[in-house]
């Protein structure tokens, strides 16, 4: 058996992923995206706890070790700092590691490695060393989990220069964005909305992959009266809110941010200048959250176009509650409708 050091970097001759459109759940779309990236480049490897024969807690890596072997799909000890530290060393040797963190709250033992090493090595070496490392993090609530299993810590990483922070909201983006993240020369925190893992949608397996578009926001519903900005699990909430507003005769534009860092400011500004109102939605606490940065940028760029202050709907400034109360903590359609009503009251 060849060792990892003996493997050659091959990007040609590997089987291409299947083409055509199919229906996949979001978790299966990530699985297929990982498979496509691993077939395309044998320097792509996966690391994480129970990701081999078990296929991970959410079965996102199901079948990948059987196809690519134990040297490319590595079951690691329960040591998140060690996983990320090893990935940094592998990236220095030319590999493209993809690390899985089992649950959002388990990323904190690796926080030092991510924010003081992974995020800074490219700058520290004046561009001589790239860090093409992806860290997959199932995040968010809605699954009735216990403590430390429903966190939304994306703002902590978005605050750190040198990291890209992204989150897909649907199966098509999950399939494409995981491949774009792996192709990126920069470290990427890939936040997967676990509450949406079982949501199904059409996926075009032949979609081209270009890491340059990884931070591009998308208008997923056009409107004229108010812009609802969301990402990850909150996009579905925004779309349901838009349906409710349509029944009231109000037209909402829904913008799927997709990337929390860097923010596609141009897309947000273009939408808000058209509608004159903006409500930002995310599951993370509103206090010092991503919505605060978006609100500040919108206020700076759209001050004379705004008909009302930018409002935010999200989690409260408390620890995540026990499962039976999480529906009161998470942003709901009713809470977003209330914010829209306040925006129209000005």
Check residue 245 and give its pLDDT.
98
What is the CATH architecture assignment of 4-212? 3-Layer(aba) Sandwich (3.40)
| The CATH number of domain 218-345, selected from 3.40.50.920, 3.30.930.10, 3.40.50.300, 3.40.50.720 | 3.40.50.920
Angle at 45 between CA 43 and CA 46, to 5 degrees: 170
Check residue 8 and give its pLDDT.
35
**Cα–Cα distance, 132 to 186 (Å, whole number):** 5
Check residue 18 and give its pLDDT.
53
Check residue 60 and give its pLDDT.
98
For the chain, residues with pLDDT lower than 70 are 1-19, 211
Q: Answer yes or no: same fold for 4-212 and 218-345.
A: yes
HEC sequence for 187-240: CEEEEEEHHHCCCEEEEECCCCCCHHHCCCCEEEECCCCEEEEECCCHHHHHHH
Check residue 9 and give its pLDDT.
38
Catalytic residue among 149, 159, 282, 346: 149
Check residue 209 and give its pLDDT.
82
pTM attached to this predicted model: 0.93
Domain boundaries, the chain: 4-212, 218-345
Active site residue 149: yes
Check residue 210 and give its pLDDT.
73
């Amino acid at each position: 058996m060849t060792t990892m050091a003996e493997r050659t970097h091959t990007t040609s001759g590997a089987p291409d992923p299947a083409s055509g459109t199919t229906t996949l759940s979001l978790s299966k779309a990530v699985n297929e995206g990982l498979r496509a990236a691993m077939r395309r480049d044998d320097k792509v490897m996966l690391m994480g706890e129970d990701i081999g024969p078990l296929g991970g807690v959410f079965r996102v890596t199901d079948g990948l070790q059987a196809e690519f072997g134990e040297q490319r799909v590595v079951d690691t000890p329960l040591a998140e700092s060690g996983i990320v530290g090893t990935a940094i060393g592998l990236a220095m040797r030319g590999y493209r590691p993809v690390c899985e963190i089992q649950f959002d709250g388990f990323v904190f033992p690796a926080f030092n490695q991510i924010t003081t090493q992974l995020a800074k090595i490219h700058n520290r070496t004046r561009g001589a060393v790239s860090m093409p490392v992806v860290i997959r993090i199932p995040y968010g609530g809605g699954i009735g989990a216990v403590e430390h299993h429903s966190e939304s810590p994306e703002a902590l990483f978005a605050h750190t220069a040198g990291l890209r922070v992204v989150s897909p909201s649907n199966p098509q983006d999950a399939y494409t964005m995981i491949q774009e993240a792996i192709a990126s020369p920069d470290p990427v925190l890939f936040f997967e909305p676990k509450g949406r893992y079982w949501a199904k949608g059409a996926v075009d397996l032949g979609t081209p992959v270009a890491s340059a578009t990884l931070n591009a926001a998308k208008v997923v519903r056009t409107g004229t009266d108010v812009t609802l900005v969301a990402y990850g699990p909150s996009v579905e909430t925004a779309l349901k809110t838009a349906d409710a507003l349509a029944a009231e005769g109000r037209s909402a534009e829904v913008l799927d941010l997709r990337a929390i860092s860097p923010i596609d400011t141009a897309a947000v500004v273009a939408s808000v200048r058209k509608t004159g109102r903006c409500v930002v939605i995310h599951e993370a606490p509103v206090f010092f959250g991503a919505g605060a940065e978006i609100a500040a940028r919108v206020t700076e760029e759209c001050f004379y176009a705004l008909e009302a202050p930018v409002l935010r709907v999200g989690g409260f400034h408390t620890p995540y509650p026990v499962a039976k109360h999480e529906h009161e903590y998470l942003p709901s359609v009713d809470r977003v409708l209330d914010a829209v009503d306040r925006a129209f009251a000005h």
